[in-house]
Amino acid sequence: MAPDPSTLPRHIGIIMDGNGRWAKKRGLERTEGHKQGAKVFRDIATYCSELGIEAVTFYAFSTENWRRPEKEVHAIMDIFRDFLAELEQREAENEEMGFRIRFIGDKSRLPADIVSLLDITESRSAEKKRTTVNVAVNYGGRQEIVHAARLLAQQAVDGTISVDQITESLFSRYTYTGDLPDPDVIIRPSGEMRLSNFLTWQSAYSELWFSDVLWPDFTRKDLDQMLSDFAKRNRRFGGV
């Protein structure tokens, strides 16, 4: 049964977790799990657009993920390259879906060729309005807060704003998702029950939904289950 449009979240955050464990269970290299996870990412992003969800933010690579074995990090970067090349090949399809694709995080540590491809992809879809797909790459919630704080501090130093003008609302505008509503719900598959430095500022009142399903096994039916559960929740935002 299709979800009731009136109960849909405007913004969903997804922590794509469990790729390595999925591969290990099958006797495969961890990179095979990441490849399968990328396929699931495409399908779930497409489904969110079909449902009319305004924004979905995927946690793809954290600031802490550089600590993984060098071979795995290089493989993940190659998967990003393949993903970006595929986006270019599917440009007409993405246009039809109305995807605005953005990459959030600190791009400075990424390989130069990937940064160039990210910028090209973003510029090509910048005018699309149906669904914003944020891909968090070299992203950390605390790093994002520091980044926003530095931008505001510099404006205060320059005299553009006064310290008294800094409010929660203004601070939110300087985050990577400042033009979007905060996530209504954050999904974490794989059995883990923590946010792992994801959307730290934005998730203050997000509903949390956990699943034991590993991300490469995550399907549209799992998303439907989350949407059904979300529709039953009473969001009071600190009120009665």
Mind telling me the catalytic residues? 17, 65
| DSSP E strand boundaries for the chain | 11-15, 55-62, 99-104, 131-139, 185-188, 207-210
125 contacts 100 by C-beta, under 8 angstroms: yes
53 contacts 10 by C-beta, under 8 angstroms: yes
- φ/ψ region of 190 (left if φ > 0, alpha if ψ in -120 to 50, else beta) reads left
Q: Cα separation of 205 and 236, whole Å? A: 9
Joined tokens for residue 142? 């605390």
Q: In sequence order, which ranges of 126-160 are alpha helices (DSSP H)?
A: 141-158
Contacts of 22 (CB under 8 A, 6+ apart): 33, 36, 37, 214, 215, 216, 217
Terminal-residue alpha carbon distance, the chain: 32
Joined tokens for residue 183? 């996530």
